[in-house]
Amino acid sequence: MKHRTQQKQPGKAIVKSDVQKKGTFPQNMSPVIINYPILWLSLAAFIVYVRTIGFGFTELDDSIFIREFHEYNENLANLATSFHRGLFDAIKDPYFRPVFLDSIIINNIFSKENIFGYHLVNVILHLASVIVLYKVFIRLRIRKLHSFIISLMFAVHPVLCQAVAWIPGRNDTLLALFSFSFFFFAIEYSDLGKIKHLLLSVLFLLLAYFTKESAVFVPIVALIMFTLIIGDKLISKNKIILYASWAVCFLIWFIVRSQATNIQAGNNPDTGVMITDFIHRLPLIVQYLGKIILPVNQSVFPMQEDTSIKYGIIATVILAASLIFSKDVNWKIVAAGFAIFLLFLIPALLVPNNLNEQTFEHRLYLPIIGILIMFTETFIFKGLLDGNTLLYSLIVSAILAIMNFVYQGNFSSPLVFWTQAVETSPHSAYAAMMLGAREDNLAKSYALFHKAYKLDPKQKYINYYYGMMLQKQDSVLASEPYLLTEKAKTDFVECDFYLARVAMTKNDTIGAMNYLKSYLQRMPSSEPANNNLLLMYINKGLIAEARSHASRMRQLGMNLPPEISRILNAVR
């Protein structure tokens, strides 16, 4: 069997760049010894990503989970609630991500709304994933040198940047960490039969299931690893016990998920639409392959129609050629790697366009391991470069690290993030809308809103932003139909604040007060809304209501404007 590990000496990882059939080194070649490979992998990943710890929000979902969910995150009892609700909406939401929600709750304990702590945890999760993946490669009997190299590529590859630099991307690092841990302990149990390894494999498989639905493919990938990479028998006593534990884990996850409120709400996609969307998304396989092998056309907010397929075609040719011109290729391992890549990519192909039309790169965090496994059968790893496998691989890894370091700057702030999104995805109405909301130049801002509305007038929040733009242009009454449309469609809380202004322009003080009351039910700490409502109470002569509201404001830590305090004190 190829790709067998060598014996490990204490404190060292001894790796041989090429081994002859008898286990001896070719002439003029010597063992390649890498002391403390885990330390070097950790340092490489940390150095590449350390500056992301100081990044701010992108305002793509991260502000929702950290700021808007702050009250939810403060209640530790919600660690259990997360298993009975949807991700964004407790009732009507097709996403079921309890472990991710709980990770934010735990992060909130020491970080509150300071995003520094969330970025730090993201980097730590990536470091842990790199370390466990290296151990999995070793357990798969891949040579230690090869395991080190492909783990290093995983640690620094720019296509995985979004999973680390973007807070919600941690869902994929969590899934990978739990999946890798499951693979490790499942292999350990298969080899050694120790009950602790079985129990740990069950724990990590359950965690993977409750992190993301794509974990349903994790046991299938484990089977591929056992049969095609390791070369084990499909049936044995330990294997049967493993299979039974996998079935139990799936059943537990399925029952809990089925009882969650988001599933009861009935978010069942149309089968015909799913098939059509799946067929439409098949070219993504080539696009994603291109981003792994030639990561030069990345986007923080990618769309299929704006992603060039030429890089994917070139990448496919490069990968095929590097295998064809290699020697002694183990085609079982090649098939296993490609199958792993496809299996972990299937969930991205099944996402309905009406739910999410973005082709995010963080979804490659797990699929990329299949391509990395295939790399070990290419000529670079087969000793055809005069024994300089490690040298050439380090050069490639250094290039990837530099590309990553440069690219990750796109996640540093909302303005930078959405500017890159518009540049790389010109057909995205959402990207144009989000950049328009953050553009200081009013002319540019309005142009972006017009572009977004033209691209997709049904885009979520576009009617709100269009109405807000009209109000900034002093077309307050003209904004009303857009704000009402958005309120009816998404019930976006900010619509109430601007509709209150519409009502005041129409001299409808009662209507304005009702909109502000509705707004403050969900945004109780908004000083402008509180002050406006307090003034309306006073202007309408509702002094009792004004005093009661002023008391609530003081409880929230707000200081009343001096003139309002004088009015309330003067009136008996």
What is the pLDDT at residue 224? 97
Q: Tell me the whole-structure pTM to 2 decimals.
A: 0.87
- Backbone dihedral angles phi then psi of residue 32, each to the nearest 5 degrees: -100, 115
| CB crowding 123-148: b at 16 or more within 10 Å, else e | bbbbbbbbbbbbbbbbbbbbbbbbbb
| CB crowding 84-104: b at 16 or more within 10 Å, else e | bbbbbebeebbbbbbbbbbbb
What is the pLDDT at residue 245? 98
Give the residue among 412, 417, 411 at the shortest CA–CA distance from 438: 417
Residue 418 sits at the vertex; the CA angle it makes with 416 and 422, to the nearest 5 degrees, is: 120
Element (H, E) at 33: strand 32-35
Bridge partners for 34 per DSSP: 13
Structure tokens at 381: 């790893």
| Local mean pLDDT, 10-residue blocks, the chain (572 residues) | 39 38 38 85 97 97 94 96 92 90 97 96 98 97 93 98 98 98 97 96 98 96 96 92 98 93 54 83 96 95 95 96 91 97 94 83 97 93 68 91 97 97 96 93 91 91 91 92 94 94 94 94 90 90 88 88 78 61
Helix, strand, coil distribution of the chain in percent, nearest 5 = 70, 0, 30
Q: Where are the domains of the chain?
A: 12-27+35-411
Give the residue among 479, 476, 425, 473 at the shortest CA–CA distance from 451: 425
What is the pLDDT at residue 13? 42
SS (H, E, C) 295-332: CCCCCCCCEHHHCCCHHHHHHHHHHHHHHHCCCCCCHH
Handedness of CA 478, 480, 484, 487 (dihedral sign): positive
> Which residues, other chains included, contact 196 with Cβ-Cβ below 8 Å and sequence gap of 6+?
none
Handedness of CA 173, 177, 180, 186 (dihedral sign): negative
Element (H, E) at 155: helix 144-156
What is the pLDDT at residue 563? 79
Report how far residue 339's alpha carbon sits from residue 336's, in angstroms, rounded to the nearest whole number: 5
What is the pLDDT at residue 210? 98
